[in-house]
């Protein structure tokens, strides 16, 4: 019965890891990332809604006085 020759396993595994590393590096190098977002002056926008013209108050059950 022939013996399993494991003398080339180290070179095979190391070359596979090296090839995968180079493949992933080339994939990552070709990927374009977004640049840092620039600061934009945000001006507050006012929306005219009908409920802004009158005073309203919401009474929560927990804010009611105790009896």
DSSP characters for 26-37? Answer: HHHHTPPPPPPP
**Which pTM was predicted?**
0.43
**Backbone region of residue 43 per phi and psi (left: phi > 0; alpha: psi in -120 to 50; beta: other values):** beta
Write the pLDDT tens digit of every residue in 27-42: 988 877 777 777 776 7
Residue 18's CB is within 10 A of a number of other CB atoms, namely 10
The per-residue pLDDT for 60 is 58
Cα-to-chain-centroid distance, residue 13: 33
């Amino acid at each position: 019965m022939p013996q399993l020759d494991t003398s080339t396993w180290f070179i095979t595994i190391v070359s596979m890891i090296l090839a995968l590393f180079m493949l992933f590096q080339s994939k990552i190098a070709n990927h374009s990332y977004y640049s840092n977002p620039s600061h934009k002056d945000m001006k507050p926008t006012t929306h005219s809604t009908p409920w802004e013209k009158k005073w309203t108050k919401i009474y929560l059950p927990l804010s009611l006085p105790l009896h």
